[in-house]
Amino acid sequence: MTEPGELTLGTCAGELLLDSQTLHCPAWDCVNVLDLEESGALRSGNPIIPGTYGRLAVLRHRDQVTVTMRMLVTGVFDPLGVHWTTNGYASAFEGLVVNLRALRFLLAIDTELVSLPATIQYPTLTAVTAAVQVENWRPVQAEGTPIARATFDLTVPLGGFT
């Protein structure tokens, strides 16, 4: 059982890792991992062959897909599960600021990285991977609480995880 203020870890949809770092811990939790099952639309078509019947088969490609990921972030615990009263923070609000900054660093928002390796570890112990790009970090604090909702856009240039 979790303590008040501790986020439950992972979902039945699986665990999302960016650059081998989990997005599910006592301080934050990514709540819509299943949305990454979406794949990009197929593009291309079979052109008509002039002067004959039929069409020329052309290899199709997946378009990139962008999913807005949703997270809950708390300041009551740090990523290792240590309560704010024992880790030296003045308050859970300070813990929230520290956790939001750590998450921003983890997501590599301020870097010029072309892509990050991402993995979805399913409860069945199978995993899928993709190179992803992270953009548009948007945290919003719930008024009067050390809890924030945050979103970011995760783009999969190859159109999906494999």
**Which tops the pLDDT comparison, 82 or 2?**
82
For residue 46, which of 55, 34, 38, 35 has the smallest C-alpha distance? 55
- Could you tell me what percent of the chain has a pLDDT over 90? 55
How far is 139 from 148, CA to CA, in rounded Å? 6
Whole-prediction pTM: 0.82
Cβ distance 118 to 14 under 8 Å?
no
Instruction: Write down all domains in the chain, each with its CATH number in brackets.
Output: 15-39+59-156 (2.40.30)
Token pair 């990009």 in the structure block, residue: 40
Tell whether the model's pLDDT for residue 33 goes beyond 80: yes
**Residue 108 DSSP SS3:** coil
- Model pLDDT for residues 49-107, shown as the tens digit of each residue: 787 777 777 777 778 899 999 999 999 999 999 999 998 889 999 999 999 999 998 88
- Model pLDDT for residues 119-140, shown as the tens digit of each residue: 999 988 899 999 999 999 999 9
